[in-house]
Amino acid sequence: MDRMLYVSMSGAKEALMSQANNANNLANATTDGFKQDFNQFRAQHMEGPGWLTRTYSMDERPATDFTAGPIKVTGRPMDVVTKENGFMAIQSPAGDEAYVRSASMQITAAGQLVDVHGNPMLNEGGAPIVLPPLEEISIGTDGTISIIPVGAPTNELVVIDQLRMVQPNVQDLEKGLDGFVRLKPGVEELGQAPIRMVSGAVEASNVNTAQALVTMIELTRKYEMQVKMMKTSKDHAASSDKLLSIR
Interval 24-33: pLDDT, tens: 999 999 999 9
Mean pLDDT of 182-189: 93
**pLDDT tens figures, 157-169:** 899 999 999 999 9
- Residues 36 and 81 both lie in one domain: no
Q: Residue 87 — pLDDT band, cuts 50, 70, 90?
A: very high
Domain range for 145: 71-203
- Residues 83 and 177 both lie in one domain: yes
Mean pLDDT of 138-148: 94
- Residues 114 and 23 both lie in one domain: no
- Residues 190 and 220 both lie in one domain: no
Q: Is the pLDDT of residue 127 over 80?
A: yes
* Predicted local distance difference test score (pLDDT) of residue 173: 94
Mean pLDDT of 222-226: 89
Q: Is the pLDDT of residue 61 over 90?
A: no
- Residues 195 and 230 both lie in one domain: no
d(CA 202, CA 68): 11
Q: Residue 231 — pLDDT band, cuts 50, 70, 90?
A: confident
- Residues 49 and 112 both lie in one domain: no
Mean pLDDT of 37-41: 84
- More confidently predicted of 129 and 7: 129
- Structurally, the chain folds into a number of domains equal to 2
- Residues 184 and 110 both lie in one domain: yes
Residue 179: burial class (beta carbons within 10 Å; 0-12, 13-18, 19+): middle
Q: Is the pLDDT of residue 50 over 70?
A: no
Average pLDDT of every residue of the chain: 89
Long-range residue pairs from 113-122, CB within 8 A, at least 24 positions apart, any chain: 113/145, 115/90, 119/90, 119/91, 119/92, 119/93, 120/90, 120/91, 121/88, 121/89, 121/90, 121/163, 122/88, 122/89, 122/90, 122/91, 122/97, 122/163, 122/164
Q: What is the pTM of this model?
A: 0.80
Share of residues in the chain with pLDDT > 90 (%): 65
- Residues 48 and 154 both lie in one domain: no
- Residues 94 and 148 both lie in one domain: yes
- Residues 86 and 57 both lie in one domain: no
Q: Is the pLDDT of residue 236 over 80?
A: no
Q: Is the pLDDT of residue 96 over 60?
A: yes
- Residues 103 and 225 both lie in one domain: no
* Predicted local distance difference test score (pLDDT) of residue 51: 64
- Residues 76 and 183 both lie in one domain: yes
